[in-house]
Chains A and B, each alone.
Chain A
């Protein structure tokens, strides 16, 4: 894949102008995680109404891939039922980004989804399903 493909206009746009960036006051869900390889950190806050994601914000530090993926993810889940969000997987993220990634950058791309799921499963008092851990 060429450099222009990896850093598509849309990825750079989300990186430089992240959507839903920030934190929420009194969120129903707030989850944090980090990528131990590069030290990137992310926090995702959610407000949930009747099983539907009403508001979402993310914050933290990361590379273009990790930030763009988080920004796109927040756009994708706002207004969606929690049960539907639980079904999202790595293919959904890669489809949004529209690029192919090696194993190291894949972890950057999936950090926000992983964090989101930690929050959702934590709210429901469940452990993260084991297959989600394999994303790391």
Chain B
């Protein structure tokens, strides 16, 4: 499929992109692999795999301290990625980017370092009903420890946030509003900028779980005016075990450290220590150097395609997916219309369990997810135990969607005979 994005001269050949991903040349259960579990993790282009290999073969060394050539190269490349991420997110400075293992660690970092200092008895944290457990459980732990209250922005029947009662939710000692930018189940893109403005007016900070949005769309922390934003590298073509936290510099500077150890200190005495400047203050111990540098290669790869083209490709495939699934008898598709969501489609079939659908698809060489997708409260709200989820990325094609629909029809044949 060739997609020309608005304002972009050069058409992107998405069929050629597929060839950059070695894993997609494989078969699964004897059928060419159709990978539709991109919300869980994405595949890696050859350039990312080669970057890891190159690091370990030629300049593996510890960063920030070695004064020899390969250590300086490792440090330079590691810090270059911080700059790339700062530009990608439109942060004011690379010092506003902290490397973490991923979104989950970023949430835990803020819940522990910022939360324990700033959230006390009776204070309020506002979340939404559509959060991934990673943006729910750390706040539950904090609230329990500090005696704080959790409130939730409800989800309406269309899978959108219902902001009708937001003013009431923001009343009182609200310290933080934390929400997903894009739902990992419904695909809903939430109006973060509007919510951030209202949260700030109420005196609260805003944390954005951008694990699903950063891979798919232009995310601008200044336009959103969020105080924190978390993302995961492995959901955007990068390796597992590396992600990041954006935080406004003055807020990061006022926070105590999260983990103690090497690199995060300025001066250590036997009984007390002083802390490094941000972001080093939050990067204790030897960081994930190889994966950070490979994440840089992933970002370069995505930027060469361009986020406008990525979004246009996703939108076209999302519309095809919704249309082809909608014609299947007995199907329920969750979430808002295509123009309000990312390329994530969760569905149920009246009398067939998601595990059984996924097992039939597996035999057809198609990888999808079945379960509650780490969002049990949302599934309770939807009134189902589990859903089947297909999620798309840049290497997916119309033929993948055709095979998905054919696989779902095959499941119906088996279980409704």
Measured between alpha carbons, how far is A38 from B374 in the docked complex, in Å? 10
The proximity string for A residues 107-123 relative to B, scoring 1 for CB distances below 8 Å and 0 otherwise, is 01000000000000000
List residues 42-88 of chain A with CB under 8 A from any CB of chain B: 61-66
Task: Report yes or no: A2 in contact with B363, Cβ–Cβ below 8 A.
Answer: yes
Measured between alpha carbons, how far is A12 from B360 in the docked complex, in Å? 13
Task: Report yes or no: B415 in contact with A39, Cβ–Cβ below 8 A.
Answer: no
The proximity string for A residues 11-51 relative to B, scoring 1 for CB distances below 8 Å and 0 otherwise, is 01001000000000000000000000111110000000000
Task: Report yes or no: B376 in contact with A39, Cβ–Cβ below 8 A.
Answer: yes
Judged by a CB distance under 8 angstroms, whether A136 is at the interface is: no
B385 CB contact (under 8 Å) in A15, A38, A108: A38
A38 CB contact (under 8 Å) in B363, B370, B414, B417: B370
What residues of chain B lie closer than 8 Å to A108, measured between beta carbons?
A: 355
What residues of chain A lie closer than 8 Å to B385, measured between beta carbons?
A: 38-41, 61
Judged by a CB distance under 8 angstroms, whether B241 is at the interface is: no
Measured between alpha carbons, how far is A38 from B386 in the docked complex, in Å? 6
Distance in Å from the Cβ of A48 to the closest Cβ of chain B?
A: 30
Measured between alpha carbons, how far is A65 from B370 in the docked complex, in Å? 14
Task: Report yes or no: A64 in contact with B363, Cβ–Cβ below 8 A.
Answer: no
Task: Report yes or no: A3 in contact with B360, Cβ–Cβ below 8 A.
Answer: yes
Given A12-B414, A39-B379 in contact, is the A3-B363 Cβ separation under 8 Å?
Answer: yes
Task: Report yes or no: A64 in contact with B372, Cβ–Cβ below 8 A.
Answer: no
Task: Report yes or no: B353 in contact with A62, Cβ–Cβ below 8 A.
Answer: yes
Measured between alpha carbons, how far is A37 from B372 in the docked complex, in Å? 8
Distance in Å from the Cβ of B92 to the closest Cβ of chain A?
A: 42
Judged by a CB distance under 8 angstroms, whether B371 is at the interface is: yes
Measured between alpha carbons, how far is A121 from B355 in the docked complex, in Å? 30
User: Nearest B residue to A60 by beta-carbon distance?
Assistant: B385
What residues of chain A lie closer than 8 Å to B45, measured between beta carbons?
A: none
User: Nearest A residue to B379 by beta-carbon distance?
Assistant: A39
List residues 356-390 of chain B with CB under 8 A from any CB of chain A: 356, 359-360, 363, 370-372, 376, 379, 385-386
Task: Report yes or no: B354 in contact with A6, Cβ–Cβ below 8 A.
Answer: no
User: Nearest B residue to A41 by beta-carbon distance?
Assistant: B385
Given A3-B363, A6-B363, A39-B386 in contact, is the A64-B379 Cβ separation under 8 Å?
Answer: no
Measured between alpha carbons, how far is A91 from B370 in the docked complex, in Å? 26
Task: Report yes or no: A38 in contact with B372, Cβ–Cβ below 8 A.
Answer: yes
Given A7-B414, A12-B415, A38-B370 in contact, is the A105-B363 Cβ separation under 8 Å?
Answer: no
Distance in Å from the Cβ of B416 to the closest Cβ of chain A?
A: 9
Measured between alpha carbons, how far is A52 from B49 in the docked complex, in Å? 60
What residues of chain A lie closer than 8 Å to B360, measured between beta carbons?
A: 3, 7
Measured between alpha carbons, how far is A38 from B372 in the docked complex, in Å? 6
The proximity string for B residues 392-417 relative to A, scoring 1 for CB distances below 8 Å and 0 otherwise, is 00000000000000000000001101
Distance in Å from the Cβ of B40 to the closest Cβ of chain A?
A: 13
Measured between alpha carbons, how far is A63 from B349 in the docked complex, in Å? 12
What residues of chain A lie closer than 8 Å to B363, measured between beta carbons?
A: 2-3, 6
Distance in Å from the Cβ of A68 to the closest Cβ of chain B?
A: 11
Measured between alpha carbons, how far is A108 from B332 in the docked complex, in Å? 24
What residues of chain B lie closer than 8 Å to A6, measured between beta carbons?
A: 359, 363
Distance in Å from the Cβ of B408 to the closest Cβ of chain A?
A: 14
User: Nearest A residue to B372 by beta-carbon distance?
Assistant: A39
Distance in Å from the Cβ of B363 to the closest Cβ of chain A?
A: 4
Measured between alpha carbons, how far is A7 from B362 in the docked complex, in Å? 13
Measured between alpha carbons, how far is A7 from B411 in the docked complex, in Å? 10
Given A38-B385, A39-B386, A61-B385 in contact, is the A105-B355 Cβ separation under 8 Å?
Answer: yes
A interface residue numbers (CB < 8 A to B): 2-3, 6-7, 12, 15, 37-41, 61-66, 105, 108
Top 8 nearest A-B pairs (CB, nearest first) are A63-B355, A63-B353, A39-B385, A3-B363, A38-B371, A64-B356, A39-B372, A63-B356
List 8 interface pairs A-B (beta carbons < 8 Å), by A numbering: A7-B415, A12-B415, A38-B371, A38-B385, A40-B385, A63-B356, A64-B353, A66-B355
